[in-house]
């Protein structure tokens, strides 16, 4: 059986940002595959190529075994796509939008109700409200409901959680796990690194290239280096002082701790003593396991690996 999505040296060139410089990967059926990278790294371009809204300049790709250039009409019937920008009809109500999308795909809302139940139940109380009057979180839930209503076998979600609060984000990821259990393949992009660990595999993207493709634990195993978490009373000054210390290679703020990449041979005890000498109080420095975000910061600063 072929993979759900096969991408081979796919390329699209235009303008300064957003181009795709030849990416290759196979996404398996029922996989949640994450595209992780900043704005302009080519995530949206890859989506638009795969859902047949753009033609590639190089390489090829298939979705459910169908070619994205030759079989574009067949692909459109089989995939669900939620673009990064809200693209429903603002003057239609919640209910009207949903029925419109169902009708366009030749299905009835009632028939596929169970598939969207979890996400739609949150907005159903507002079903007579116009889409333009919904909050950001509700808009995303409606957009997802519309993308799912024809029971697609592959779902493309372009930054569904950008600008969405943590509670709604958690709900959306629960929905994706549901869909995976029902055999739906999901390709999803996000700028939130903590969401990467909810994917089966992720591609770290930058400048139109895949820096690496692997499961989140593999990414950490491959790119993680010794990492220390540091805190003290004055965090802003601590950041400056840690960076200036000769045993510190890099140091970045990570929430309530700073993450330090030490140089070979460095010792957390000596570093703590050095910070105390500089007047810092309640200094704590301890070794931690690096996360995806540590890895991304690390490899984003290096030249890309050729696929």
Partner 1 sequence: MNAITTERLTKRFGAFTAVDNLSFEVKRGEIFGFLGANGAGKTTAIRVLCGLSKPTSGRAEVAGFDVATHPERVKRHIGYMSQRFSLYEDLTVRENIRLYAGIYGIPTAEIRTKSDALLRRLEFGDWRDRLVRVLPQGWRQKLAFSVAIFHEPAVVFLDEPTGGVDPLTRRQFWELIYQAADRGITIFVTTHYMDEAEYCNRVSIMVDGRIEALDSPRRLKEQRGAATMDEVFRQLARGARRT
Site residues (vs partner 1, CB under 8 A): 16-17, 37-41, 122, 135-138, 159, 162-170, 191-193, 206, 235-236, 239, 252-256, 293, 296-297, 300-301
Nearer to partner 1, 119 or 148 (CB): 119
Closer Cβ to partner 1, 74 or 298, answer by number: 298
Q: Please identify, using beta-carbon distances, which residue of 3 and 297 lies nearer to partner 1.
A: 297
Minimum Å distance from CB 251 to partner 1? 10
Q: How would you write 194-260 as a 3-class SS string? A: HHHHHCCEEEEEECCEEEEEECHHHHHHHHCCCEEEEECCCHHHHHHHHHHCCCEEEEEEECCEEEE
Which CB sits closer to partner 1, 5 or 295?
A: 295
Nearer to partner 1, 255 or 264 (CB): 255
Q: Where are the alpha helices (DSSP H) in the chain?
A: 43-50, 72-78, 94-104, 113-123, 136-148, 166-181, 216-223, 235-244, 268-277, 292-300
**Three-state secondary-structure class, residue 122:** helix
- List beta partners, residue 186: 32, 155
* Angle subtended at Cα 144 by Cα 140 and Cα 187, rounded to the nearest 5 degrees: 110
| Closest distance to partner 1 from the beta carbon of 81 (Å) | 19
Q: How far is the CB of 85 from partner 1 (least distance, A)?
A: 11
Rounded to the nearest whole angstrom, what is the least distance from the CB of residue 69 to partner 1 in the complex?
A: 30
What is the 8-class DSSP label of residue 132?
A: G
Question: Closest CB to partner 1 among 240 and 267?
Answer: 240
Minimum separation from the CB atom of position 232 to partner 1 (A): 13
The crossing angle, in degrees rounded to 10, of helices 216-223 and 292-300 is 50
């Amino acid at each position: 059986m072929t993979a759900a999505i096969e991408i081979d040296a796919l390329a699209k060139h235009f303008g300064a940002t957003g181009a795709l410089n030849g990416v290759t990967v196979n996404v398996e059926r029922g996989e949640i595959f994450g595209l992780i990278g900043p704005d302009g790294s080519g995530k949206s371009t890859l989506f638009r190529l795969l859902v047949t809204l753009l033609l590639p300049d190089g390489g090829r790709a298939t979705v459910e075994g169908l070619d994205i250039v030759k079989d574009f009409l067949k692909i459109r019937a089989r995939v669900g796509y939620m673009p990064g920008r809200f693209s429903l009809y603002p003057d239609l109500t919640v209910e009207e939008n949903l029925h419109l999308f169902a009708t366009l795909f030749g299905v009835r809302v009632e028939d596929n109700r169970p598939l969207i139940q979890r996400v739609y139940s949150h907005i159903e109380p507002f079903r007579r409200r116009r889409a333009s009057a919904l909050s950001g979180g509700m808009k995303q839930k409606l957009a997802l409901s519309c993308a799912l209503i024809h029971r697609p076998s592959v779902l493309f979600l372009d930054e569904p959680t950008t600008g969405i609060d943590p509670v709604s984000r958690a709900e959306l990821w629960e929905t994706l796990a549901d869909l995976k259990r029902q055999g739906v393949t999901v390709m999803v992009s996000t700028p939130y690194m903590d969401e990467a660990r909810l994917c089966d595999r992720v591609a770290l993207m930058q400048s139109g290239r895949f820096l690496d493709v692997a499961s989140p634990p593999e990414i950490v195993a491959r790119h993680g280096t010794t990492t220390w978490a540091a805190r003290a009373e004055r965090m802003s000054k601590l950041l400056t002082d840690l960076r200036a210390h000769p045993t510190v290679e890099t140091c970045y703020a990570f929430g309530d701790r700073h993450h330090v990449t030490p140089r070979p041979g460095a010792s957390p005890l000596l570093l703590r003593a050095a910070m105390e000498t500089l007047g810092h109080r309640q200094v704590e420095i301890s070794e931690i396991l690096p996360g995806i975000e540590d890895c991304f910061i690390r490899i984003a600063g290096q030249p890309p690996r050729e696929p």
